[in-house]
Structure 1
Amino acid sequence: MALEPPVNTKVESVGLDAAGLVALADIGTVQERTVLTGTSSILDIFVFVPGLHLQQKAPGLNSGEHPACGALTTGYVFRVENPATVFYLQRIGRTGRLTNVTVEIAKESTTWYGSLFSALLPGQEMSLLPIVSYLMAVSWGFGVVVMLTLSGDWWGVTMCGGLMTARLINFIIIQRRSVLGWCGADEGETRGDLLILLSQDRWVRMKGYVNDLKAVTSGQWLRRETKLESWFTAVATMLVYLVAALAGNVEQFGKILLLCLFIGSAGLLALANSMTKQLHMHGRVLTKVGKSVEYVRRRDLVDELINETGRDDWALQMGMITLDSADSKSSRRGSAVTT
């Protein structure tokens, strides 16, 4: 005699044959999470979110912007080349306001449970709401896999297995690509002070040791994929599309579970992203400090920083003041330097 499955899967007839297409929705929550944590977690394999096949495109979230940046301590002007940092600054910046940011080395745990937490959730901000939201998304995915197994819906289990495989591949490749590469020469214990001009008149002042500033503003966040990594990324992407194509074979109860899983996990991960206030990358932490300061005119900001730093060469090279006004200020104050 055949045994009945322990879970009753009888559901009224609802047209959900295309439920698997939800997995292909172009949602950037996975990419945002990858940027904010600076890497990927092994627990990601249980987070089934629409758009998970786009994780390797996380560096493109900065929309191609590489803002001008001036060192207020040396007058040197360059561009912020790290796309993850640019995305974070775009996220916290406000039009017509100056936002202050500090860069510090991430603290390493000295306890075994802290080390375990860091291994399972690398780059995770130590705040309750982001951690709880993320772990709920992980638990939801694991719970759905268990429910599909108990109901005997092996097509649904196969779909989840395909998504888990795709996430595992992306996890390994992100881990390999997020290793710190070139970021300039060692500057010792020298401290730096940067003014960054973002689009839409958003201004950010970033402070920290020069070595830490270089680690988050120069070079690459994720290095380019090797040929082998690119091949595995293609395999992971095709797995997600294959899952969407085979969704029609899943039982009605399984389709409802998967649909709720995709929508619920996307909401939980979006909540975790919105509550995350820091950026972790290359062993450094970027943190917004205080409230953004509003200025009526950009020139008011420039004059204030020139008076504070005692030099205006950075403002001249960044096009924030003209040569005539720079010369007049130099003659009045005597301490400004122009080139």
Structure 2
Amino acid sequence: MASTLHLSDFVYPQAANLIAFAPLPAIITRTALTGGASFLDTFFLVPGILSQQDAVKVNDGEYPATAAMTSGYVFRVENQATVAFLQRVGKTGHLVDVDVYKTNDLSHIDPIASLSYLAGISSTMVVAVLLVAMKDYAALMFLGTLMAARFLNVVVIKRRATLGWKGVKEPGQMGDLMILASQDRWIRMRGTVDDLKEVTAGSWLQEMQPLDSFLACTASLLMYGSMAFAWKASALGSILTAGLLVLSSALLGICNSTTTKLRMFGCVVGKTGETPYARRRDMADDILKQTQALGYEDNSWAVRLGLVTEIKQDKKDVKSVIL
């Protein structure tokens, strides 16, 4: 009599849950795009939970040189989430226009991203209900432990994502920034000075306090401890939880890729247009003409930013441009 073959004869289904430890960047990207975290994230289970606190590294170490064209002041954008967004919307050989503004309406919400986010949360609920119906409590505990770890990381992010020091308030003043990102990506960012400060000055995540470190360490222990439940789960329960992690990863990837605006501290940062240039010199000439037409008196920022080597102050034109 021929023996019946089972899935467990070829693979160990419980081991599939190890994908929960894959350091995928989706959660980090989402944290940066939203400027923080929501408690609803607890139910969006994606591999990479332990890496969420590394969201400050999302800019790959880049802090682009920036000039305030209205005042001539030159500095660097230190907000890592903003830098990552500019890297994303920037395009080599193009001057990209970006606006910063505050809004309380839902006009900045991306429909596909929102639907993907809700689908990810719903998927977790469906799998949890199925596990209860199957009475696979080990798999359910595995799922619950992942949620607990996710929840603790969300709490830490919410504690860290607070508005820090941004300098003196300048109500009503309009700002106009020229940002030189890597790979010849040029960004012109406009908005009120106060809004620009909020999204460019300083890190958007504060340093971890002792309580934050304790919560993050607890989340790590929960993640590794969750495998004790995963190893006791049934084959079908393991397939469901592993499938949930894979599906959620895809949904969060769609959510991130269809998010077109950065949200942070009540501000929305969005791309409004782009202009291609054959040479950096052409862009420099054009931007200086525009600032002169707008009445910006101090164009010395262009020299300090490295766009030009010298400006004739009497005629307000470029004498030599660095290629």
Question: Would you call these one fold, judging by a TM-score over 0.5?
Answer: yes
**Structure 1 position 137 matched with structure 2 position 124:** no
2:188 is aligned, of 205, 211, 236, to 205
1:94 is aligned, of 91, 95, 106, to 91
Question: CA shift at 1:248, angstroms?
Answer: 2.1
Q: Is the 8 A contact 1:103 1:213 kept in 2?
A: yes
Q: Is the 8 A contact 1:34 1:40 kept in 2?
A: yes
* 5+ residue gaps, structure 2: 1-5, 293-297
Q: Note closer, same or farther for the CA distance 1:196–1:29 as it changes in structure 2 (3 Å cut).
A: same
Deviations 1:242-296 (A, max 9, x none): 2245422211001110111011000001101111000000110001102x21111
1:307 is aligned, of 279, 289, 295, to 289
Deviations 1:159-178 (A, max 9, x none): 11111111111111111111
Whole-Å separation in 1 of the counterparts to 2:189 and 2:318: 23
Q: Counterparts of 1:53-202 in structure 2 under 5 Å?
A: 53-107=50-104, 125-202=108-185
Q: Is the 8 A contact 2:100 2:270 kept in 1?
A: yes
Query: Which residue in 1 is equivalent to 2:272?
Result: 289
SS of equivalent residue, structure 1 residue 285: strand
Q: Note closer, same or farther for the CA distance 1:268–1:32 as it changes in structure 2 (3 Å cut).
A: same
1:39 is aligned, of 36, 39, 49, to 36
Letter of the structure 2 residue corresponding to residue 286 of structure 1: V
Query: Which residue in 2 is equivalent to 1:119?
Result: none
Q: Is the 8 A contact 1:71 1:194 kept in 2?
A: yes
Question: CA shift at 1:228, angstroms?
Answer: 1.4
Letter of the structure 2 residue corresponding to residue 298 of structure 1: R
Query: Which residue in 2 is equivalent to 1:18?
Result: 15
Deviations 1:278-323 (A, max 9, x none): 0000110001102x21111111111111111125311101111113
SS of equivalent residue, structure 2 residue 314: helix
Letter of the structure 2 residue corresponding to residue 75 of structure 1: G
Q: Note closer, same or farther for the CA distance 1:181–1:266 as it changes in structure 2 (3 Å cut).
A: same
1:271 is aligned, of 239, 244, 254, to 254
TM-score, structure 2 length as denominator?
Answer: 0.91
Q: Is the 8 A contact 1:125 1:131 kept in 2?
A: no
Whole-Å separation in 1 of the counterparts to 2:41 and 2:318: 54
Whole-Å separation in 2 of the counterparts to 1:166 and 1:193: 42
SS of equivalent residue, structure 1 residue 263: helix
Deviations 1:87-122 (A, max 9, x none): 11011111111111000013168xxxxxxxxxxxxx
Q: Is the 8 A contact 1:23 1:244 kept in 2?
A: no
RMSD: 2.0
TM-score, structure 1 length as denominator?
Answer: 0.87
Query: Which residue in 1 is equivalent to 2:222?
Result: 239
Letter of the structure 1 residue corresponding to residue 283 of structure 2: L
Whole-Å separation in 2 of the counterparts to 1:144 and 1:79: 46
2:205 is aligned, of 204, 222, 229, to 222
Q: Note closer, same or farther for the CA distance 1:261–1:75 as it changes in structure 2 (3 Å cut).
A: same
Letter of the structure 1 residue corresponding to residue 16 of structure 2: A
**Structure 1 position 321 matched with structure 2 position 303:** no
Whole-Å separation in 2 of the counterparts to 1:281 and 1:317: 29
**Structure 1 position 51 matched with structure 2 position 48:** yes
Q: Is the 8 A contact 2:80 2:204 kept in 1?
A: yes
Whole-Å separation in 2 of the counterparts to 1:245 and 1:75: 60
SS of equivalent residue, structure 1 residue 200: coil
Q: Note closer, same or farther for the CA distance 1:147–1:334 as it changes in structure 2 (3 Å cut).
A: closer
Whole-Å separation in 2 of the counterparts to 1:334 and 1:28: 46
Question: CA shift at 1:29, angstroms?
Answer: 0.6
Q: Is the 8 A contact 2:108 2:268 kept in 1?
A: no
Equivalent pairs: percent with the same residue?
Answer: 41
Q: Is the 8 A contact 1:24 1:244 kept in 2?
A: no
SS of equivalent residue, structure 2 residue 308: coil
Number of residue pairs matched by the alignment: 308
Q: Is the 8 A contact 1:67 1:198 kept in 2?
A: yes
SS of equivalent residue, structure 1 residue 308: helix
Question: CA shift at 1:184, angstroms?
Answer: 1.0
Letter of the structure 1 residue corresponding to residue 308 of structure 2: I
